[in-house]
Chain A
Amino acid sequence: MLKQKIARINLSTGDIRTGVTPPMIRQLYLGGRGIDAYLLYNIMGPGIEPLSPENVLLISAGLLVGTPVPGANRCHISGKSPLTGLVGSMHLGGFFASELRFAGYDHLIITGKSSKPVYLWINDESIEIKEASHLWGNNFYETQKLIKDEHGDNELKVIGIGLAGENLVKIASIMTGTGNTTSQTGMGAVMGAKNLKAIAVRGTHELPIEHTEKALSQYQQVNSKIRGNKLSNTLSQWGNVAYLDALNRFGLLRANNHQSNQIATKNDLNTENIKGHFRGKKSCMGCPMSCIIAYNVPWGPHQGSYQELPDFDGLAALSSICGTQDLTSTLVSIDLAMRLGIDATNVGNLIGFTMECYEKGIANRKNTDGMSLHWGNNSAVLTLIEKIARRDGFGDKLADGFGSAIEYLGKESEYYAMQVKGRPLASTDDRPIPSFALGLATSTTGADKLTSRPWIDLFELPQNVLENMYGFPCHSDFTSYQYVGKMVWHHELLNVICDSLGICRFLAHYLPIGNPGFEEFKSLIRNISGLELTTEQIQEIGERIYTTERLFNQREGKSSKDDWMPERLYLEITTQGTPETKGKKLNKDKWAQMLDEYYAQHGWDQAGNPADNTKRRLEIDEALPPFFDF
């Protein structure tokens, strides 16, 4: 288990080196996102252009991936994001990470740039760089099939990019299987910039398990814990699109970019209607939840073909944010985005933004290639997705994200760009919920809802229940700013540990209170890998990883001034919703206080920079053994 290898592949020279992951780094960073953060911070200097050969592409599997642990299947992908210029840390499910581990590798470090299109073929220990000119120009699904046919093996697993990644669109995704994508930080463009079309892997080696009997019985304990609550069962039945209806009823769903926080409650766009297109539930490796909802594409050139729904954010971005409530066209636009290899959440947000600019007169037919971008224009949504992925005309201006779009449309459009550090906000309206907003604003990867997001906050549980769970004072009112910093801190650490172990956070107490937390992780780590860690040590590892990511961003010039939500959220109030959510906006003074509390909890100074004693405590800048001679 701890003998898993790490490989460095230089695409410029074709040089491939492998070695065992140093045990000391394992102890300090576990694996997955942790070791990725360590590598990114230590092997890359500041100010590197993300689409240049100097950027690294890190692909890794978490410490528990491929073993009998519920939902341990996450593949973590990192590098410097072309969209945000910060940590590009992102993950995807499916079967790739486990296959990579069965081939003997935990980490791939890909550097340089190939002179012609290539793909990597990892067959057990052997790594080959193979010619991919015949794959270039194909969408990901075709590429995946061609590689499988080439090797005559249906069981090999592929990650790769579509057209958008080839065209260096900064919101391009990396995909695997059908519906599993890394969303939002545009790592697909990094692959495209390296001329790397895909990575295929086949592994037949074994992952030794330290205590097999205990591991098997613990799987069932953890599983029954997860199954013991209604929320997980809802998630299991409907995927997280189930929250579309619930959030809309509460007035927490962004509509028409960010103009409203609710769509008509009687509309086409609801979970019940998705049933009509339902084609079954699918799972990632070793996951009892099976939260992937498969559907039939309702119309268009790919009518009737198989597709999988993205998460709730992607669905809402291409529907309510673009002002449409037509479910079938949303399903078609999701399918189109997937086929082009572009991220649904990002592209939906960009289109919603241009639609609002169009309404305000900032964008017009002259500067949008003659398109009429009124709210709910479904055909324009499809055209724009295609144009962005192909970098065609107006699409080219949007393909580099909000920065270049604002530059093109003019300064006054900036107010309508719903983004933090270049990355779009989640599809929830976070004005009434400071904990959600703080998580987005401070995330190391731009407005990332998966960095923290304490959903538990929304349930207004009794104070003593919350205090028992968190171990520090809490507030049961979700509109309160008090103790929010600590709550966000707790969930950041928990999610960082999930990503480093490769466990899907939907199976941790991200949502329901009864799901596994640090205590369960401790025994999972011991039973599977044999590493003896205490819960305090695991929390500290979480702090170390998150602070390392923060240090990377600090080196790229980010500080507390960037940890704010878009101006609009502090000025406009929510107009719809229940008494708790209606008439709310964020408060700047309270925000500043909340940030201070949050920084203090992390041991960062008031400017949001990790303090020297924190770095010493977490042994971040200590000299550690280098993996390779870079």
Chain B
Amino acid sequence: MYKIITLDYTKCTGCRICEIVCSTKKVKASNPARSRIHVIRFDVDGTNVPMVCEHCDKAPCIDICPTNALSRDKNQGFTTIDYDKCIFCKFCVAVCPFGGMSIDYTEKRVIKCDLCQGDPICVKFCEPGALRFIEPNSTDPKISLISEKLSEALGGSINILS
């Protein structure tokens, strides 16, 4: 069974350490603009919403990719990019409902979370526990509820859980 990162915005304090450590690990420098995870902050009402690739079961990015650069890893279940095939058309960036796909302007390519090959660093550093790395069909009723609601809102085009 593969695992995904779940995000609980009610627990997120908005410290953005996930962005710092993600970029530190991936690009060897601190740079939230090149991080694979992002926290959307709303100053006016103090809400902080972490956003990252959900590795959707029916993934819009995989569907839309014209060169099949995006595919699912057979063993671990996550979606992955083959940069040899990618033509940097950015369709995946436009189509992702979660903002999970972003653009790295330094290296001129699209980037997304690869779950650190099964050991995501952001989860390890998340002090308030807003990020968790768990099996998607675990019995947490909150997760299945969110999954249902999302599927409904997006017209059944997406399913983050099997």
Contact = CB atoms under 8 A, between A and B. Distances in A.
Bound together: yes
Interface of A: 66-68, 95, 102, 141, 144-145, 154-155, 177-178, 203-209, 212, 215-216, 219-220, 223, 279-288, 290, 294, 306, 308
B15 A285 contact: yes
A282 B30 contact: no
Contact of B17 (A102, A208, A286): A286
Provide the main secondary structure of the chain B interface.
Answer: mixed
A5 B124 CA distance: 33
Nearest to B128: A290
Given A212-B25, A283-B15, A288-B17, A205 B43 contact: no
Contacts of A208: 28-29
Contact of B43 (A68, A177, A281): A177
B31 A282 contact: no
B33 A102 contact: yes
B122 to A, nearest CB: 12
A279 B17 CA distance: 22
A66 B15 contact: no
Contact of B31 (A102, A144, A223): A102
Given A68-B20, A223-B127, A282 B44 contact: no
Interface in B1-40: 10, 13-17, 20-21, 23-25, 27-34, 40
Interface string B48-72: 1000000000000000000000000
* 4 A-B pairs with least C-beta separation: A206-B31, A283-B15, A204-B33, A206-B29
A209 B30 contact: yes
Contacts of B106: 206
Contacts of A66: 20, 30
A413 B133 CA distance: 63
A206 to B, nearest CB: 4
A162 B20 CA distance: 31
14 contacts: A67-B30, A68-B20, A102-B32, A102-B33, A145-B43, A154-B41, A178-B46, A216-B121, A281-B13, A286-B20, A287-B17, A288-B15, A288-B17, A290-B128
Nearest to B42: A154
Contacts of B30: 66-68, 206-207, 209
Given A95-B16, A204-B33, A208-B28, A279 B127 contact: no
A290 B13 contact: yes
A178 B43 CA distance: 6
Contacts of B14: 282-283
A285 B16 contact: yes
A372 B24 CA distance: 59
B140 interface: no
Nearest to B18: A286
A294 B27 CA distance: 34
Contact of A294 (B32, B33, B46, B105): B46
B73 interface: no
B81 to A, nearest CB: 21
B25 A287 contact: no
A611 B132 CA distance: 57
A68 B21 contact: yes
A608 to B, nearest CB: 41
Interface residues of B, number: 34
B46 A306 contact: yes
Contacts of A215: 24
B83 interface: no
A403 B60 CA distance: 66
Given A204-B31, A207-B29, A287-B15, A68 B128 contact: no
Contacts of A206: 23, 27, 29-31, 33-34, 106
Nearest to B44: A306
B111 to A, nearest CB: 13
A282 B12 CA distance: 8
A282 B46 CA distance: 8
B125 interface: yes
Given A66-B30, A144-B43, 10 more contacts: A95-B16, A145-B43, A204-B33, A204-B105, A206-B29, A207-B30, A209-B29, A209-B30, A220-B125, A282-B13
Contacts of A290: 13, 15, 127-128
A310 to B, nearest CB: 15
A279 B24 contact: no
A294 B14 CA distance: 13
Contact of B24 (A68, A223, A282): A68
A68 B27 CA distance: 13
B45 interface: yes
Contact of B25 (A207, A216, A283, A286): A216
B46 A308 contact: yes
A279 B15 contact: no
A118 B21 CA distance: 36
Contacts of B31: 102, 204-207
Contacts of B29: 206-209, 212
Given A68-B30, A102-B31, A216-B24, A280 B46 contact: yes
A212 B24 contact: yes
A95 B124 CA distance: 22
Among B15, B33, B48, B121, max chain A CB count under 10 A is at: B15
Contact of A283 (B13, B27, B43, B45): B13
Contacts of B25: 212, 216
B44 A141 contact: yes
